[in-house]
Amino acid sequence: MPRLLVLDFDGTMTDAEAEGAPFRDGYLDDLAVLTGLTRPEVDALAHRFEAEVAAAPARYGWVFDGRIVAPATVDPYLRIMPVARRIFEETGAFPREQDRTRLLDGILYKYNYTKTRIAFRDGARQALSDLGQAADLHTCIVTNSHTDAVQHKVRVLGGPDGALDWLVDRVHGRARKYVIDHAWQAVPEHLELPGLDRPVLLRRRHYAEVLEGLLAERGLGWSDLVVVGDIFELDLCLPWARGARVGLLANAHTPAYERAFLAQNPRGAVLTALDQVLPFALS
């Protein structure tokens, strides 16, 4: 049976911790300047607040339009946001939330994101090469990142022989998986996960429309879709709610409640290596 496989990219095909280390380092440098603390003082606060964030997944997360739309623990980009806010709270810097949001989510995030390096997960090139040769399986990438940035990474991964050039035009960026449309009623408003004391919001209409467009191009339905990503709440909850099969490519920072939910769900799976993606997509 023909199937559509949709992959997230950053954090799924890449090593987010290695890629994001310069981002985190630059962000903490800027926080030292903005708070008047020394860099060692900022480092100490960051380590303390990172532990707080990891211990309270219901309280902390990626806040967009006033609602948590993803966990804050999975990668350096998400972890830094609540940590930076706690550092500002501790020091009394920029007390207005509007100013903090503009500064942290806008200026500092964008400025320091340019410092990231490219680092792929083990087996990324081979996994994508194998997917490209699988019969009746159309593979593409849907990402929150900019299309051209991810296309560049695909070309780098493919090497000088252009082994992955077939995938470049199948990159679909700016998916806005984090945007919630409460008026859209094609799915329930939220999902309750055991072990998480807040709802997982499902009405990610823009993301759904991107996936629906890809399915329509091939005359496929939601039951023909397989999605693989590294964050259930961001990449997978919406397609799962629409009837797709989803694979969570876990890492050391994946929340236990996400692992547990998918491990016992008939349309879900927890994957630990990229060579498991193809067997899962074809199963």
Express each pLDDT in 229-264 by its tens digit: 999 999 999 999 999 999 999 999 999 999 999 999
Write down the domain spans for the chain: 3-15+118-282, 17-113
Give SS3 for 209: helix
Residue 191's pLDDT band, with cuts at 50, 70 and 90, is very high
Amino acid at 206: H
Mean pLDDT of the chain: 95
Question: For the chain, what is the radius of gyration of the CA atoms?
Answer: 19
| Model pLDDT, residue 17 | 95
Average pLDDT over residues 134-143: 96
| Model pLDDT, residue 138 | 97
What is the topology classification, in CATH, of domain 3-15+118-282?
A: Rossmann fold (3.40.50)
- Looking at the whole model, is its pTM more than 0.85? yes
